[in-house]
Structure formats: C-alpha cells, structure tokens
Chains A and B, each alone.
Chain A
Amino acid sequence: NAGVTQTPKFQVLKTGQSMTLQCAQDMNHEYMSWYRQDPGMGLRLIHYSVGAGITDQGEVPNGYNVSRSTTEDFPLRLLSAAPSQTSVYFCASSSRDRGFSEQFFGPGTRLTVL
C-alpha cells in the first residue's frame, strides 16, 4: 500500500491564482480530511468527508473547496489564493474499523502564496 499520497510537494502561487492540491489513499478508508499546519498553531481542520459524495466544513473552511467523487480521492481547491493561505497542508484518512480517529497522514504540501 502507498498509504496517503499528496501532490505536489511544493507550490508557489501568486495572489489570485487558483490551484488544486491532490490527495489519494489506497486503504479504502471512509473518512478523509484536510488540515493546515501553521507555526505555533498546530493543525487545523479545513474540510472533511465521511464518504463519497459527502463533505463538510471544519474549523477554517473559508477560501477552500472540496469534493469527494470517489472513495480514493479528496482534492482541495484554492479558488483565489491569498498570502494568508501560505501554509503546509496535510491530507489524512481513517477507517471506521479503527474507530475513525486513528488517522493516517500524507507527507504534506508546502504552499507559498506571494
């Protein structure tokens, strides 16, 4: 198993540009989520999904969109990037069988918005 994969690893955007961060998992996990990690603030939940076709907002959803058309994929879209979205983004997945909360994290995408 590859686990949770994320692409790209690094990205630099200009203010106002759009892009999609890709996340995929091959463990057939029902639950997938996106977090952002900022210095001194830990990880904050952006959006999550409990299954294909079902998504919901986390703590900091503004400026981000998600969709879940398949069990495997959970892309995160930035519609109009802002410098405040400079961060490291982590995708995670978990299974109902493991009580959901034991999450498996991807390696992260480091995003800089100029």
Chain B
Amino acid sequence: AQSVAQPEDQVNVAEGNPLTVKCTYSVSGNPYLFWYVQYPNRGLQFLLKYITGDNLVKGSYGFEAEFNKSQTSFHLKKPSALVSDSALYFCAVDRAGATNKLIFGTGTLLAVQP
C-alpha cells in the first residue's frame, strides 16, 4: 500500500539556521512528490513538487527538496530559517502518477525561534 511518513511531529530551529523537515514514502512505480504548507487557520499552499528530472527541486519562499530514490526520501530544506516559516508542513505523494489522488503525511510542525 502507498504511504507517506513524516517521522517528526515537530521540528525546532533557531532563526538563521538551516532547517530540514523529513519525509519518506512508499509507492509502487515512479512517485510524484509534493510539499505543502499550512499557516494557522488557513488552507494548504503548494510549495514544490518532484515529477522527474533533477533530484533537487526548488520551490516557493526559498525552500527546496531533495529526491533520493534509493532512500525513498523527499526531505524539505531551507538554508536559513525565518520566524515567518513557522507553520505545519505536509509531504504528499501521488499514488499512480498524475491521478490527483494525493496521499498526505501526518504533518510536521516547524517552530522557528527568534
């Protein structure tokens, strides 16, 4: 069965430090992978996606993610965290490629301290 795991419920980082939010997946065939962000009392916003090609994907607000097929991971990264990055982050995978049946992880709360 297809699944997405976000092993950390919360990640704490100081402003200015690099951040990583982890995601691993299990899906048959080639995965389509996504990161979304949710600010308090808001809907989810698309950050970035991996479909094919370069393993390092760049997205909105300075975020990037690295696709690692051998480790079945798609970790979200940013070189220098901002307090305004504090939010709930979701990793998602498409089950069978471009079907829009996204499977979401349980979310990781990112807290950036000033």
- A residues near B (Cβ < 8 Å) are 4, 31, 33, 35, 40-45, 48, 50, 58, 90, 92, 94, 99-108
Instruction: Kindly state the separation between the CA atoms of A86 and B75 in the bound complex, as whole angstroms.
Output: 31
Inter-chain pairs besides A58-B101, A100-B98, 6 sampled, C-beta below 8 Å: A31-B100, A33-B100, A92-B43, A100-B99, A103-B44, A103-B102
A94 touches B100 (CB 8 A): yes
Is the pair A106, B43 in contact by a Cβ cutoff of 8 Å?
yes
A60 to chain B, nearest CB (A): 12
Q: Which residues of B contact A104 (CB under 8 A)?
A: 46
Q: Which of A40, A50, A99, A101 contacts B102 (CB 8 A)?
A: A101
Q: Total contacts A to B, CB within 8 angstroms?
A: 61
Q: Which residue of B lies closest to A100 (CB)?
A: B100
**Chain B interface main SS type:** strand
On whether the beta carbons of B100 and A105 are closer than 8 Å, the reply is no
- List 6 A–B pairs whose Cβ atoms lie within 8 Å, in order of A's numbering: A40-B106, A42-B90, A42-B104, A43-B92, A43-B102, A92-B44
Contacts of A4 in B (CB 8 A): 43
Chain A proximity of B82: nearest CB distance (Å): 22
On whether the beta carbons of B44 and A105 are closer than 8 Å, the reply is yes
Instruction: Check A43 against B90 for contact (C-beta < 8 Å).
Output: yes
Nearest residue (CB) in B for A4 is: B43
**Which of chain B's residues have a CB closer than 8 A to the CB of A106?**
43
Question: A43 is contacted by which of B46, B49, B100, B104 (Cβ under 8 Å)?
Answer: B104
Contact residues in B for A105 (Cβ distance below 8 Å): 36, 43-45
Closest partner residue, chain A, to B48 (CB atom) = A102
Complex Cα gap A90–B45 (Å): 12
A64 to chain B, nearest CB (A): 16
Please encode chain B, from 85 to 114, with 1 for each CB lying within 8 Å of some chain A CB and 0 for all others. 000001010100011111011110000000
Is there contact, CB below 8 Å, between A101 and B49? Answer: yes
Closest to A90 in B: B43
Question: Are A41 and B100 also in contact (CB < 8 A) when A99-B51, A107-B43 are?
Answer: no
